[in-house]
Amino acid sequence: MFSTNRISRINEDIQREIAALLRDVKDPRVKQGMLSVTAVDTTADLQHAKVYISVYGAGSEKELMKGLKSASGYFRYEIGKALSIRHIPELHFVIDSSIERGARINSILGELPETQDVVRESGGPASRIIDAAETAKWLDGRDNFLILTHRRPDGDTTGCAGALAQGLREHGKTAFVLPNPEITPRYLRFIEDYYPPAQWGEPDYVISVDTASLELLNDNAGEYKGRISLCIDHHSSNTRYAEQLCLDTSCAACGEIVYGILMNLSGGIGARAAEYLYTAVATDTGCFSYANTTGDTLRIASLLVESGAPHRALNKEFFRTKTQARVKIESMILTGIEYCFGGAAAIVIITREMMAGAGADEDDVDDISSLPCIIAGVRAGITIREMASEFDCKGSVRTTPGVDAGAIAACFGGGGHAMAAGVTYKGTVAEVRDRIIEELAGFL
């Protein structure tokens, strides 16, 4: 017989292993919906283990159980390789319908990083890391929320904010989105219906979405910066400024995390929130074509479509439609493209003069930094953009696997993901270009 401590460690190990292995199972019966392993209960003699599975999304639980049963030999074999226990218990899968139980352990969205011993950007101790189920529980017990979006708002931050506000309202809560002064017409409709009325008082809880650090918030969010209760994010560069952080860096879009939270909160998602989240996920993945797209991304997108997201119209609107100004600026960019390192890097520059010449606004250059990476052989695509003045530049780094965009950006004090990162630079576009080429030499 094993001690309770030892058994609970074994339970955790088995749970973690099965959660990871589930991603590799190809059986379509197991692939339906979103699965999470909420708990494992192993008998003291190690003969049997109950594995509690929670499932979101359509599909037959009966078929799922059959699929899991047929995969259990594979699970036991892999667990045997990973864990040093002399007997691998027989696995018995049980559907766990209790959200309470799910709240205790893993989210559907995988393992969360350990809380690091850091001081929060806002001054307090490091954020407490919570998963989607815990986040839902936290929201469920509170009310009167204000949601913040980031500077230069994109489809992910606005889609998440709108969906969260909508989902919270459908759940009987009061929720608003702080007006974003930099919002463009492209994404306005996702948040403007949730702007607080003039007579609204103070929020009780402030939430930020898709926002890695406090400096990414607009000035009008200033009064809330020191009191953000919850941050929902997928950036590994998150500075842990909020009291609680629901972070999953394996997600291509923050929208995937918000989906998990709303499913935990209400067990379903309405058509409006589905539309917003589909946009969030689609725009952060270049319509599911960037390398950040995972099976989970596609599964969530499919569940969002089933919940009423008008994917055809959204894909047409966001990916198959270009303004004349966009076509013009793209043609200017492509004409001026510069190759370095034998074509492994492509650098494009967008000056204010080019923007004016094309008659382009912010919406017209949305996600333009993905452009240099469409060229064959390019492993690092750099877009340098002149911003408010000629000494005020923004660089975007997009890379293919194996070249760390975040590390390149870090040379300039910037940050982001492994394949997409950004920097701001005080200097001219020509200076940034020279410095980036210097730094790139170490990466290509």
DSSP state at residue 196: P
Interactions with Mn ion, residue window 394-413 (CB under 5 A): none
Strand partners, 48: 90
Helical (H) or strand (E) element with 394: strand 393-399
Pick the closer one to Mn ion by CB: 167 or 255: 255
| Binding flag, residue 284, Mn ion (CB under 5 A) | yes
Pick the closer one to Mn ion by CB: 174 or 236: 236
| Shortest Å distance, C-beta 78 to Mn ion | 32
Rg (CA), the chain: 23
Stretch that binds Mn ion, among 126-134, 202-210, 257-265, 334-342 (CB under 5 A): 202-210
Q: Which of 173, 156, 154 is nearest to 165 (CA)?
A: 173
Pick the closer one to Mn ion by CB: 55 or 252: 252
Q: Do 421 and 414 touch, CB atoms closer than 8 A?
A: yes
Interactions with Mn ion, residue window 144-163 (CB under 5 A): 156
Q: What are 64's two structure tokens? A: 């799922």
Q: Which residue has the tokens 């690091």?
A: 116
Pick the closer one to Mn ion by CB: 18 or 258: 258
| Shortest Å distance, C-beta 359 to Mn ion | 28
| Shortest Å distance, C-beta 99 to Mn ion | 26
Pick the closer one to Mn ion by CB: 210 or 364: 210
Pick the closer one to Mn ion by CB: 25 or 281: 281
| Shortest Å distance, C-beta 122 to Mn ion | 21
| Shortest Å distance, C-beta 280 to Mn ion | 7
Mask of contacts with Mn ion, 27-66, x by CB under 5 A?
----------------------------------------
Helical packing angle, 295-306 and 311-319, nearest 10°? 120
Interactions with Mn ion, residue window 205-234 (CB under 5 A): 210
| Shortest Å distance, C-beta 157 to Mn ion | 6
Q: Do 403 and 380 touch, CB atoms closer than 8 A?
A: yes
| Binding flag, residue 248, Mn ion (CB under 5 A) | no
Pick the closer one to Mn ion by CB: 157 or 166: 157
| Shortest Å distance, C-beta 417 to Mn ion | 9
Q: Which of 388, 439, 369 is nearest to 411 (CA)?
A: 439
Residue nearest to Mn ion (CB): 156
| Shortest Å distance, C-beta 277 to Mn ion | 12
Interactions with Mn ion, residue window 251-270 (CB under 5 A): 254
Q: Give the separation between CA 269 and CA 273, rounded to whole angstroms.
A: 7
Q: Give the separation between CA 231 and CA 208, rounded to whole angstroms.
A: 5
Angle among Cα 252, 258, 259 to the nearest 5 degrees reads: 90
| Binding flag, residue 96, Mn ion (CB under 5 A) | no
Burial of 142 (0-12, 13-18, 19+ CB in 10 A): middle
Rounded to the nearest 5 percent, the helix, strand and coil shares of the chain are 45, 20, 35
Pick the closer one to Mn ion by CB: 55 or 216: 216
Q: What are 405's two structure tokens? A: 């965009």
Stretch that binds Mn ion, among 47-55, 140-148, 217-225, 276-284 (CB under 5 A): 276-284
| Shortest Å distance, C-beta 293 to Mn ion | 13
Stretch that binds Mn ion, among 38-46, 250-258, 350-358, 418-426 (CB under 5 A): 250-258
Burial of 410 (0-12, 13-18, 19+ CB in 10 A): middle
Strand partners, 36: 54
Size of the site for Mn ion (CB under 5 A): 4
Compute CA distances 186 → 157, 164, 195, 313, 336, whole Å: 13, 19, 17, 14, 27
The contact set with Mn ion (CB under 5 A) reads 156, 210, 254, 284
